[in-house]
């Protein structure tokens, strides 16, 4: 198996494998809420995948799936004028609606979302929201007495999609491979920060127009990029939306370690004769058993 096939197989191994289950649940939830709030039986209108799944950067084994559901503005007016914690009351109302579809599931509100845990380990996190004139969304936060917050996910999704296209489809696989690294090395970095830094990196990477044959270089160079991020920096700016993406810990040291391991892997690949088994063991040291042996 040649180098390009190693990384092609690796990327295939870590992709999400829906099998229709996620889509079916999403449509069930959306249909229920559309029926109760919009008087329509549509199973797609007013819904939006958020998070890594919405950005298409999720990997096999993810546990939380974020979904936004847009509610009519009249509902915002109702709960904004509510006596007491209107945000909490709104979450409870949406929870009761979803319970009509999943009456035997332990659904609960959790500050800003409704959690729907399924037996296969995936929890849907439904965010009820109201669209603003600039296409951002206002959503409830029931914590500390209740307040409204704003999120703007569509520009993030669009920005990742556009840069993935302009980089020959290499941005999304990079984001996914780095999630495998995060899992293997227990790296304190959020998925959105991975996507943000990968988005920045690949824009000027010299080989962004290439494909799997250059993925060893891409991983090596991205680890170097991560390792050189300012360790005193507390936040970065998300693509598209410009929202602050905060650091959750220092990831630079583990990036440095894996930059050096990646260099060793490439040395094995380029040796005469090639030491392919040794190279693959180094990549597996970085990414885990999803990388072919």
Instruction: Tell me, letter by letter, the H, E, C secondary structure of 84-109.
Output: CCHHHHHHHHHHHHHHCCCCCCCCEE
Asked if residues 79 and 60 have their Cβ atoms less than 8 Å apart, the reply is: no
pTM listed for this prediction? 0.94
Phi, psi of 44 (to 5 degrees): -130, -30
Which of 238, 236, 110, 222 is closest to 174 using CA atoms?
A: 222
Asked if residues 130 and 76 have their Cβ atoms less than 8 Å apart, the reply is: yes
If DSSP codes are grouped into helix, strand and coil, which group holds residue 124?
strand
Beta bridge partners of 67: 49, 126
Alpha-carbon span 274 to 6, nearest angstrom: 15
How far from chain centre, in Å, is Cα 128? 19
Alpha-carbon span 280 to 216, nearest angstrom: 11
Question: What structural domains does the chain harbor?
Answer: 17-151 (3.30.460.90), 155-287 (no CATH)
pLDDT per position in the chain (293 positions), as tens? 699 999 999 999 999 987 689 999 999 999 999 999 999 999 999 999 999 999 999 999 888 999 999 999 999 999 999 889 999 999 999 999 999 999 999 999 999 999 999 998 899 999 999 999 999 999 999 999 999 999 999 999 999 999 999 999 999 999 999 999 999 999 999 999 999 999 999 999 999 999 999 999 999 999 999 999 999 999 999 999 999 999 999 999 999 999 999 999 999 999 999 999 999 999 999 999 999 99
């Amino acid at each position: 198996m040649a180098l390009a096939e190693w990384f092609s197989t690796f990327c295939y191994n870590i992709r999400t494998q829906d099998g229709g289950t996620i889509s079916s649940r999403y449509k069930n939830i959306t249909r229920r809420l559309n029926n109760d709030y919009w008087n329509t039986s549509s199973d797609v209108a007013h819904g939006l995948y958020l998070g890594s799944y919405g950005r298409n950067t999720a990997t096999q084994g993810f546990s939380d799936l974020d979904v936004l559901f847009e509610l009519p503005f009249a509902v915002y007016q109702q709960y904004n004028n509510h006596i007491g914690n209107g945000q909490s009351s709104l979450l409870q109302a949406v929870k009761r609606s979803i319970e009509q579809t999943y009456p035997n599931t332990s659904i609960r509100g959790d500050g800003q979302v409704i959690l729907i845990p399924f037996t296969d380990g995936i929890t849907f996190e439904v965010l009820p929201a109201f669209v603003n004139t600039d296409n951002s969304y206002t959503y409830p936060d029931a914590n500390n007495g209740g307040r409204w917050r704003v999120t703007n996910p569509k520009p993030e999704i669009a920005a990742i999609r556009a840069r993935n296209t302009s980089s020959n489809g290499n941005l999304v696989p990079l984001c996914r491979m780095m999630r495998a690294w995060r899992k293997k090395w227990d790296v304190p970095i959020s998925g959105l920060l991975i996507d943000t830094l990968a988005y920045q990196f690949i824009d000027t990477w010299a080989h962004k127009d290439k494909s799997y044959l250059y993925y060893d270089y891409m991983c090596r160079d991205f680890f170097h990029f991560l390792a050189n991020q300012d360790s005193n920096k507390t936040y970065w700016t998300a693509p598209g939306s410009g929202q602050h993406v905060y650091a959750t810990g220092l990831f630079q040291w583990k990036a440095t370690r894996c930059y050096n391991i990646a260099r060793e892997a490439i040395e094995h690949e380029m040796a005469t004769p090639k030491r392919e088994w040794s190279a693959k063991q180094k990549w597996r040291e970085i990414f885990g058993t999803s990388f072919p042996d």
